[in-house]
Structure 1
Amino acid sequence: MELDQDLAALEPLGGFFVLRTGGAPRGPMTALARAYGNRTSDAGVNPITFRVEKVARTLNAPEPRIAASVAQQGLAARLWSVALGSAALYDAVPDLDPALLHWDPDAAAPDDLWLSEVRARPAHAASVADVVLLGHLEPLAAALRARHRIAPGLLRGNAASALAGAARQLDRWAVAHGRGEAAAHGRALTAELLAHPLLSATGTLTGTAFRRRSCCLYYHVPGGGVCGDCCFLRPPRSSARDASG
């Protein structure tokens, strides 16, 4: 199935799956290629640093690395959702080239994305990994680690957790709407992606449930607690026990 230029099939899946395309961006946005290169925006601000600082203020995060982790996982969830949803519903994924995909670091969650040109890529695991994992999440992790003390294993755990979360949401929608083929495609693709060498050590997938081997540090946020797929069953008593990778 070919991609339609407005990716309309993704709209019923919800905000994390929707991708704005064509026309002109709504407000100031930055090409993600520019952000990953740690370049400043036209306003003279580094977009990734701006996003991390915004998340830190919103969450009252006690350390910048916690906000960096949460910010990275939020963007990862958006990217995986677009790719998985497209693969399941179109049997193709949009080319999310960071030079074509624009981002508003000042937007509320879910991250606001705009794709300037819709070009189809294959929907198999190698292609999706190339589009999302290698094209975005690895350079995003490098940009974050250049500015924050945050472990590679933690960021890859976040990437895997975001993938599993997107897959569960897609699966719930597909089952509820009688789209068994989309559900099956999503589950199979997720399992293949989590077997990728960069993600295979991050956790265990059982059905649609994922248990990661690291912690995103969200429990440090006031009132945060641990996430449903965390390696911890309850918040550790000491930060010395952080599972940071």
Structure 2
Amino acid sequence: MNAPVPPPGDAEPTAVISAITALGAFFALEETGAAPPAGWQPMSAALLGDRVTGVRQWLAAAGGQPAGAVEPRVAASVAHLGLAARLVSPALAAAVLFGRPLLFALHEVRWQPVLGGPVPLALPAGALGAPLAGLEALAGLLAARLLAGPLEELAAVFGTFGVSRHILRGNTASAVNGAAVSLVRARPELAVRTRAFTGLLLDRPPLAGESTAEEGVFRRRSCCLIYRAGPGGKGALCGDCALDLRPATGRVPDSAS
């Protein structure tokens, strides 16, 4: 596979975390010790449920509606998509930039559940694995132990609000592609490697079949439901939505230009 060789993978974990964090808010990470600092919370089912309530209120207010006008499953899907992107983005960056897997259990994640943007995220020391040779090996490991692990656990929690597994996996696929687009914008010289790695993740379980990539353009096979949060259930569709018949806008660019 013709993909650029990443920077040396033997960098100190602190340096790797710093390099990933510098890419932007969706990539930013902190490390937790045995006792996380005050203010960091576990990503528990109870707090995730509270987030659905908060997102529901936020979506309703944005549309000038009462909170009850937004379906709980719509808020749950939107909340899930944001958190899936938050968990996937640093792992994608670690793999593409350094050839290293970033692996963790959902119960190990610590976050600050604020609304209005990417949540602060902290992972345990040791989450960053040793370098692996080849994109195939990296993709196989992340698919099995990240996408089919904590990301599936996260989806299961939001599934209790009536969101289908098809939509939730589509959200995760969209999060993977969105992370790739953001990474290429920050590091355009790694566009080929990023595109190749993203394709490997999207083409294998658990995300196989959840999206298409005709002529390099990403489109999911489901809808995150956010359009239903608009007044009368007639809000805008996302650019990669299966319901949008216009040309998709989710292509991983060849460069930042």
TM-score normalised according to structure 1 size: 0.80
Native 8 Å contact 1:76 1:159 kept in 2: yes
Asked if 1:13 is matched to 2:26, the reply is no
Aligned to 2:244: 233
**1:135 maps to what in 2?**
149
SS at match of 1:137: helix
State the alpha-carbon separation in 2 of the partners of residues 85 and 74 from structure 1. Answer: 17
| Distance across 2 between alignment mates of 1:207 and 1:54 | 38
Bigger Cα displacement from structure 2, 12-21 vs 100-109: 100-109
Query: Does the 8 A contact of 2:28 with 2:120 survive in 1?
Result: no
Equivalent runs, 1:1-245 vs 2, <5 Å: 1-2=9-10, 3-5=12-14, 7-22=17-32, 25=36, 27-32=38-43, 35=44, 38=45, 46-60=46-60, 62-121=70-129, 124-146=138-160, 148-175=161-188, 180=189, 182-206=190-214, 209-222=217-230, 224-233=235-244
How far did 1:131 drift? 3.7
How many residue pairs get matched? 218
Structure 1 residues 206, 167: closer, same or farther in 2, change over 3 A? Answer: farther
> Distance in 2 between the 1:209 and 1:79 partners?
23
Identity %: 38
Q: Secondary structure of 2:222's match?
A: coil
What one-letter code is carried by the residue in structure 2 that aligns with 1:168?
V
Mapped contact 1:88–1:183 kept (Cα < 8 A): no
4+ runs deviating over 6 angstroms: none
Counterparts in 2 of 1:9 and 1:189: CA distance versus 1, 3 Å: same
Q: CA RMSD in A?
A: 2.3
The answer to whether the Cα contact below 8 Å between 1:52 and 1:67 also exists between their aligned partners in 2 is yes
- Contact in 1 for aligned 2:51/2:113 (Cα 8 Å): yes
- Runs of 5+ consecutive residues of structure 1 not aligned to the other structure: 39-45, 235-245
Partner SS, residue 219 of structure 2: strand
